[in-house]
Every structure is written in C-alpha cells, then in structure tokens.
C-alpha cells in the first residue's frame, strides 16, 4: 500500500478557478490498494461555530491545548474518488452551490484533475447531510453524475425521504431535512439502497456507523491484504473526536449513539492499524489512528 501527495494548483491557475477554492487549492491525497487507486478530492471547507464541535464543559480549554482557538472551526471537506479499473466511485458528492460559499467546489476540483462527471459509475453516500448530499443535482435539478448508479443505506434513505422528518428533527437541522427530501425525491427512482455488512460493490463493504445520522454508513475498501476505512462523519474532526471521544459531539443527531460508534471505530482502526479516510480530517483526510495516553490521535499520511 503506497501513499503520495499531489497538488493541482498549476491546472487551477491555468483554468482561472484557483481563487474559487480555499488556500489548500486542489491538494489531494492518493493511496493504492492492490491495483486500485483512492484519492481524496476537495469540496472546499465548512465554517462552523465552535459549539458545533461540542459544548462540553472545558471544551475551549481542551481545544486550546490541542492548538485550536477562536469561536469558529473550518473543517475541510474530502470527497473520496476510488478507481479499480472497472468502477469509478465517488463517496459523497459535496455540498453543491446552496449550502456554504466556502464549499461546493467538487466539480472544479474534478475538472482540474481531468475527471468528467460522466466518468463516475457509482455514487455512494455515507449519509444525507448537506455537505455530503446536496451536490447531487445540477442547476436544472437533473442528476449531476448522469451515468452513475446512486447508492445509500436503506435506513438513511428512509429517514430523509420521509416528509415527516422535517417536523421531527431539531429546529437547527430543518433545512437539512427539507434539502435532503427535495434532492432524494428527484433521485428516488435512481437510488439503490443496501443494508449493513453488505458487499455493495466488489471490494466495498458497508459498516453501520449510526449516531451522526440515523443510518450513517462507513465503508471498508479491500484489495487483497490492503484495506482502508472510509468513515464519513462518524469521526468528525481531528481533535476532540480523538482526544475526547466520549464527549458529546454537537454535530451528531443521536449524541449517545455517536459516542458509542466513534469509540468502537477508533479502537478497531487502532487495533487493526487500518488506514482511514475522514471527510472532515486535515491533510486530505487519509491517516491512521494511534493510541496515545489512554485516548487516540490522528496521524495524517503525508
């Protein structure tokens, strides 16, 4: 298994779109699994209040000890592109133009890489939050990845496609529910659903990682002895999620289940020494979990 780092700033400057992206430009991480290639692709970044990470007592002091200060965080958004010679798979599709001005850069990044939306054979969703789902339609509300099979866990799909979700979700996420419903209704006949512990494509297995959302899925990609886990938002940041995994995360819809999932996933990845891809983790999101002083730390592969 090999890791490399690439930047696409030269292409970005040539096409005149570099200014549309954050300072990280088109930086990507690349790893190989057997004969397959996995790359993380920037969709930009989010800008979130600190309490979205956690409002746990002592959080600001803990964050400061980890080098994170201020009243905002700006997590990157790392979409995963996986190519095995037969399938070209996107895990999540970014935010599109309607969520935050700092996100929704996926098409620019793919273009700079020379990848057309028409080349994508499968889109696989970890969950239905805006920064993962809202980029699925084009400006005419048609599927942006027109040739792709779209796939989502059944529990997750059923939750967001239900018109009553907007009435039962907390007020701060009602726009999430309305936006997911509109997009999934437009895609309903083109989405395949699946369960947990299922090989959804050759070498790609789903793992239930509920808590962040009711049906959140992680995915284990395996080629021979090489494997990597795409964790989506089950491990949502590189600081408190590792240093205090038993603290409530403000981004989890079911905080207690989110803690249970996060701690189990961190322990599994550390014990197996399996590389991971985190949607909101730094340096392209690819790295490993190490145990440190009774908790964990994220070690990027750079």
Q: What pLDDT is attached to residue 13? A: 30
The H or E element containing residue 27 is: none
User: Is 283 within 8 Å of 300 (Cβ atoms)?
Assistant: yes
Q: What pLDDT is attached to residue 56? A: 87
| Torsion 252-132-207-164 (CA) sign | positive
Instruction: Please name which of 127, 187, 131 lies closest in space to residue 152, comparing C-alpha atoms.
Output: 127
pLDDT tens digits, one per residue of 171-197: 999 999 999 999 999 999 999 999 999
Q: Where are the domains of the chain?
A: 2-300
Other C-beta atoms lying within 10 Å of the C-beta of residue 224: 11
**In the 3-class helix/strand/coil scheme, how is 29-95 assigned residue by residue?**
EEEEECCEEEEEEEEEECCEEHHHCCCCCCHHHHHHHCCCCCCEECCEEEEEEEECCCCEEEECCCC
User: Is 183 within 8 Å of 137 (Cβ atoms)?
Assistant: yes
- Alpha carbon dihedral 103, 85, 27, 111, in 10-degree steps, equals -60
- Alpha carbon dihedral 233, 159, 43, 255, in 10-degree steps, equals -30
Q: What pLDDT is attached to residue 2? A: 63
Question: If pLDDT is split at 50, 70 and 90, which confidence band does 20 have?
Answer: very low
For residue 282, give the DSSP letter. Answer: S
Question: If pLDDT is split at 50, 70 and 90, which confidence band does 17 have?
Answer: very low
Helix or strand or coil: residue 194? strand
pLDDT tens digits, one per residue of 220-259: 999 999 999 999 999 999 999 999 999 999 999 999 999 9
- What's the mean per-residue pLDDT of the chain? 91
- The answer to which of 7-21, 50-64, 142-156 has the lowest mean pLDDT is 7-21
The residues with which 194 forms a beta bridge, in sequence order, are 153
pLDDT tens digits, one per residue of 118-129: 999 999 999 999
Question: If pLDDT is split at 50, 70 and 90, which confidence band does 55 have?
Answer: confident
Strand order in the sheet with 286-292: 199-201, 204-208, 217-223, 226-232, 276-278, 286-292, 295-300
How many Å separate Cα 286 from the centre of its chain? 11
Backbone angles phi, psi at 181, to 5 degrees: -60, -45
The H or E element containing residue 152 is: strand 149-153
What superfamily in CATH does domain 2-300 come from?
Ribonuclease Z/Hydroxyacylglutathione hydrolase-like (3.60.15.10)
């Amino acid at each position: 298994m090999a890791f490399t780092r690439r930047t696409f700033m030269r292409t970005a400057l040539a096409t005149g779109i570099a200014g549309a992206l954050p300072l990280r430009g088109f930086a990507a991480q690349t790893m190989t699994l057997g004969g397959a290639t996995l790359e993380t692709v920037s969709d930009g970044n989010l800008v979130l209040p600190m309490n979205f990470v956690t409002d746990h007592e002592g959080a600001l002091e803990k964050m400061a000890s980890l080098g994170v200060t201020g009243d905002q965080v700006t997590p990157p958004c790392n979409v995963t592109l996986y190519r095995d010679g037969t399938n070209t798979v996107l895990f999540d599709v970014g935010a599109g133009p309607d969520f935050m001005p700092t996100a929704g850069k996926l098409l620019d990044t793919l273009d700079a890489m020379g990848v057309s939306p028409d080349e994508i054979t499968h889109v696989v969703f970890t969950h239905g939050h805006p920064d993962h789902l809202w980029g699925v339609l084009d400006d005419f509300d048609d599927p942006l990845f027109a040739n792709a099979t779209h796939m989502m866990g059944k529990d997750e799909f059923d939750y967001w496609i239900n018109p009553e979700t907007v009435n039962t979700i907390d007020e701060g996420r009602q726009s999430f529910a309305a936006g997911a419903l509109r997009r999934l209704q437009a895609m309903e006949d083109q989405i395949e659903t699946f369960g947990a512990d299922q090989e959804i494509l050759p070498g790609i297995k789903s793992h239930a990682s509920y808590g962040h959302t009711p049906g959140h899925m992680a995915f284990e990609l395996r080629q021979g002895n090489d494997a990597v886990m795409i964790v989506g938002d089950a491990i949502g940041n590189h600081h408190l999620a590792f240093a205090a995994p038993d603290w409530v995360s403000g981004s989890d819809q079911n905080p207690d289940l989110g803690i249970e999932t996060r701690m189990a996933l961190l322990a599994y990845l550390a014990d197996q020494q399996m590389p991971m891809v985190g949607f909101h983790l730094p340096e392209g999101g690819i790295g490993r979990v190490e145990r440190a002083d009774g908790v964990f730390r994220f070690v990027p592969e750079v």
